[in-house]
Structure 1
Amino acid sequence: MQRLIEALSARADDLVALRHDIHRHPEMGFEERRTAALVAARLRDWGLAVQEGLAGTGVIGTLKGRRPGQRAIALRADMDALPIQEATDLPYASANPGVMHACGHDGHTTMLLGAARHLAENPDFAGTVHFIFQPAEEGLGGGRRMVEEGLFERFPVDAVFGLHNEPGLALGRFGIRPGPMLANVDTWSVTFRGTGGHGAVPHRATDPTQPMAAFIGSLQSVIGRNLPARETGVLSVGHVAAGDARAPNVIPAEVRVSGTGRSFQPEVRGIMGRRLRELAEALAIAHGCTAEIEYRHDYPALVNTPEEVALAARAAGALAGAETVDADYPPITAGEDFAYMLQERPGAFMLVGNGVAEDGSFHHVHTPKFDFNDALIPIGAAYWVSLVAHALGAAGGDGA
């Protein structure tokens, strides 16, 4: 399988140029019209059947192997960018102010395109591969919308697989685990309301900044004193708004604090939402105020199925040895809307190392200096090809 990486590396220049082009022209969720058109054109050039327009800007390419077989699998990449101002000074840096590919979706799209081209030229497998190019992963639920619009009814599959780069993990190393791998993603907000008043006579006011301050200070008690120590839960404050900076002598009548919640188990998610609400309501009453609470469940936890994890690990290990694959990778409290696809079909989500500098440093995703590692393109594309070989062998099964 090392020869597979070498073969894909020999043709990497076109893919690198493609990745740079996508990086230079980032598009936000459900706005990926240029990227989608580029993807669809490439797939058609290589002879795949193409369906456009699912979830607005989604693209599906379908390829049948030359060997007889009834199994079908789907491979998914995401296409959208983030509302971040790029600070890399790269020659192919974003030409769209305030928008950049800060999570590597430009690389994910390119790796899957590289695999599609190779498999179209070498369709030595049994069955069908659907290449899913998904819009709007970054918080907008493009994966959910694709499922709701009939993704798996229109393109039936036995299993679905995802791949994501991981900064800080050595280039070409892989990480995966069965069961929950990425977290439930929740968004919460609390609005405390009082009468407000003049800062010089606070005894004449009902001050909502008091329960807000107490709430922020007490929030971590929800985690530390309500969750079993063996369970993971995160509650973080991301935004606080109150008053007007031009009027510091005014006690505001309303303050708002909002943030995110992360967990892996449904019961933990439930405890966090319930206790946050109870804490806010009790503190509001204690200070003579009212509280309006919203606790919204966004993305579900991403849960890999054991059989597909084993298959994906074998496919990755076949490239450079089983020692390159950590099949018990620690769970991550980030979220991923690929979880919606895994709620509908068995599958597995794999991480692959984006590399680390010689001094051990790296730029995290969702930061202005992040850039996808071009050296990863042939490795990721080779993983996809290896996965197809293992999933859709001569008999339509494991072709290891």
Structure 2
Amino acid sequence: MIERIKKLAPEFIEIRKCIHENPELGLKEFKTAKLVANKLKEFGIEVHENVGVTGVVGVLKKGKSNKSIALRADMDALVISEASGVSYASKNEGIMHACGHDGHTASLLLAAKYLSESDFDGTINFIFQPAEEGRGGAKAMLKDGLFKKFPSDYVFGYHNIPSKTNKLFCLKRGAMMAGADALRVNISGIGGHGSAPEKASDVMGAMAHFITQASLITARNIAAKNSAVITFGAALSGNETSFNILQDKALLLANIRTFNSEDRKIIINQLENIAKSCEILFKVKIELEFIQIGAATINDDEAQKLAFDVACELFGEQNCDDNHEPLMGSEDFSFMLEECKGAYAFILNKNEYYLHDPRYIYDDDTLVNAAAFYSGLCLKYLK
């Protein structure tokens, strides 16, 4: 299988470079989606476009079995100015495939090509998802009835991972990646002069108190054996001339990461309690806006075993890890796993720069390995 996929790979390496050179942001992947749809049609695969705005689903059915499996790749790029120095660097200023979604898309197309020429008994759904990078692509496809229109027994996804480990393939049972929420804290009150604080609200004091109290939540409310993180990324109020002004508004931006829904509820509840106390102490009004970017990515036991068995057959058990340390990063593939059993894996990318670095480049050896993994899953399950 791997040798055949290697022979097919050059065409798809060029496709990856084309996608890399022409990156598109989430829900605007019009050219990428059209390229994907045209290639799938070329392989004789039934194509459904505009699933979740710019999503594409290819359906390949052979034989008489009712068994089905879904494979997913994401297509969107990031707001990053590229500094990789490659000949096919981004032509779109300030936008770059710095996370390898160009390779994810190309590897799933390579798997589709290989599987279109293979014998199996059942249905394969090739899911090309838009907007993984925080713009709601998975939810958009699910809202469009993804697994109702394209029912699947299992769904599988992967992400390339630059790592110093010698393991080629990694996954684990249970939580693979954390869930993530963005938080906006809007604080408003009565502004005033620094010489008469009793006549105004203390918006700045409320902002400082909220940050310090929120920073204690995980230490005092989350079990020590669990992992959770609250990070404040911005505190905005006043300007560089505001020496004697009591501000009338402030904005805090934060990120929350947890591995289970119970811890997420605890953190949200405690943040709401802190907001109420700040309102009383500092004579302000506080509004909290939680935006769920991704749930925790939880692998199904059956799907995890199938994925690991296939990986061991392809790459050798010594090159595979079935107990990888869970990452605090998040992935909206998690929403698909809430509706369909499945598993998410990491496949080694031999690159010295990590994801979201402007110098990052997807390694095309990963493209071959990922296509082989996806193909092996389908042929093992639909034999």
How far the C-alpha of 1:161 sits from its partner, in A, is 0.8
Q: Report SS of the residue matched to 1:344.
A: coil
Distance of aligned partners of 1:172 and 1:47 in 2 relative to their CA distance in 1, 3 Å threshold: farther
Q: Report SS of the residue matched to 1:10.
A: helix
8 Å contact from structure 1 (residues 63, 130) kept in 2: yes
> Superposition RMSD on alpha carbons, in Å?
1.8
8 Å contact from structure 1 (residues 172, 376) kept in 2: no
8 Å contact from structure 2 (residues 158, 345) kept in 1: yes
Q: Say yes or no: does 1:5 pair with 2:5.
A: no
Counterpart residue number, 1:398? none
Deviation sequence 1:130-175 (CA, Å, 0-9, x none): 1111111111221112112111122121111111111215577111
Which of 348, 361, 367 aligns to 1:377? It is 367
What code does the residue aligned with 1:89 have?
G
Counterpart residue number, 1:48? 45
Counterpart residue number, 2:284? 289
Q: Report SS of the residue matched to 1:102.
A: coil
What code does the residue aligned with 1:141 have?
G
- Once residues 199 and 49 of structure 2 are traced to their aligned partners in structure 1, the CA distance between those partners, rounded to angstroms, is 62
Which of 198, 209, 214 aligns to 2:209? It is 214
Which of 6, 22, 25 aligns to 2:22? It is 25
8 Å contact from structure 2 (residues 188, 285) kept in 1: yes
- Structure 1's unaligned 5+ residue stretches are 357-361, 394-400
How far the C-alpha of 1:291 sits from its partner, in A, is 2.2
What code does the residue aligned with 2:161 have?
E
What code does the residue aligned with 1:206 have?
S
Q: Say yes or no: does 1:166 pair with 2:137.
A: no
How far the C-alpha of 1:300 sits from its partner, in A, is 1.8
How far the C-alpha of 1:57 sits from its partner, in A, is 1.1
Counterpart residue number, 2:190? 195
- Once residues 203 and 93 of structure 1 are traced to their aligned partners in structure 2, the CA distance between those partners, rounded to angstroms, is 58
Q: Say yes or no: does 1:363 pair with 2:356.
A: no
Counterpart residue number, 1:59? 56
Q: Say yes or no: does 1:255 pair with 2:250.
A: yes
How far the C-alpha of 1:109 sits from its partner, in A, is 0.2
Which of 80, 104, 108 aligns to 2:104? It is 108
Counterpart residue number, 2:297? 302
What pairs with 1:104-253 in structure 2 (closer than 5 Å)?
A: 104-121=100-117, 123-168=118-163, 170=165, 173-199=168-194, 202=197, 204-253=199-248
Q: Report SS of the residue matched to 1:274.
A: helix
How far the C-alpha of 1:367 sits from its partner, in A, is 2.4
- Once residues 37 and 286 of structure 2 are traced to their aligned partners in structure 1, the CA distance between those partners, rounded to angstroms, is 49
How far the C-alpha of 1:49 sits from its partner, in A, is 1.2
Distance of aligned partners of 1:385 and 1:272 in 2 relative to their CA distance in 1, 3 Å threshold: same
TM-score by length of 2: 0.95
What code does the residue aligned with 1:154 have?
K
How far the C-alpha of 1:257 sits from its partner, in A, is 0.7
8 Å contact from structure 2 (residues 74, 129) kept in 1: yes
Counterpart residue number, 2:346? 351
- Once residues 2 and 274 of structure 2 are traced to their aligned partners in structure 1, the CA distance between those partners, rounded to angstroms, is 54
How far the C-alpha of 1:9 sits from its partner, in A, is 2.0
- Once residues 365 and 205 of structure 1 are traced to their aligned partners in structure 2, the CA distance between those partners, rounded to angstroms, is 46
8 Å contact from structure 2 (residues 22, 92) kept in 1: yes
Counterpart residue number, 1:396? none
Distance of aligned partners of 1:172 and 1:114 in 2 relative to their CA distance in 1, 3 Å threshold: farther
- Structure 2's unaligned 5+ residue stretches are none
Counterpart residue number, 2:86? 90
Distance of aligned partners of 1:168 and 1:390 in 2 relative to their CA distance in 1, 3 Å threshold: same
Deviation sequence 1:271-313 (CA, Å, 0-9, x none): 1001112123213422333322233434222211100100000
8 Å contact from structure 2 (residues 8, 110) kept in 1: no
Counterpart residue number, 1:268? 263
Counterpart residue number, 1:72? 68
Counterpart residue number, 1:359? none
Counterpart residue number, 2:273? 278
8 Å contact from structure 1 (residues 171, 376) kept in 2: no
How far the C-alpha of 1:202 sits from its partner, in A, is 4.5
Percent of aligned positions that are identical: 39
8 Å contact from structure 2 (residues 168, 315) kept in 1: no
What code does the residue aligned with 2:276 have?
E
Distance of aligned partners of 1:43 and 1:296 in 2 relative to their CA distance in 1, 3 Å threshold: closer
Distance of aligned partners of 1:91 and 1:240 in 2 relative to their CA distance in 1, 3 Å threshold: same
Q: Report SS of the residue matched to 2:201.
A: coil
- Once residues 223 and 68 of structure 1 are traced to their aligned partners in structure 2, the CA distance between those partners, rounded to angstroms, is 52
8 Å contact from structure 1 (residues 171, 355) kept in 2: no
- Once residues 119 and 73 of structure 1 are traced to their aligned partners in structure 2, the CA distance between those partners, rounded to angstroms, is 12
How far the C-alpha of 1:248 sits from its partner, in A, is 4.2
What code does the residue aligned with 2:13 have?
V
What code does the residue aligned with 1:389 have?
L
What code does the residue aligned with 1:226 have?
N
Q: What is the count of residue pairs matched by the alignment? A: 383
- Once residues 198 and 318 of structure 1 are traced to their aligned partners in structure 2, the CA distance between those partners, rounded to angstroms, is 72
- Once residues 337 and 41 of structure 1 are traced to their aligned partners in structure 2, the CA distance between those partners, rounded to angstroms, is 26
Counterpart residue number, 1:397? none
Distance of aligned partners of 1:219 and 1:183 in 2 relative to their CA distance in 1, 3 Å threshold: same
How far the C-alpha of 1:100 sits from its partner, in A, is 0.9
- Once residues 384 and 253 of structure 1 are traced to their aligned partners in structure 2, the CA distance between those partners, rounded to angstroms, is 55
How far the C-alpha of 1:12 sits from its partner, in A, is 2.3
Q: Report SS of the residue matched to 1:96.
A: coil
Q: Report SS of the residue matched to 2:141.
A: helix
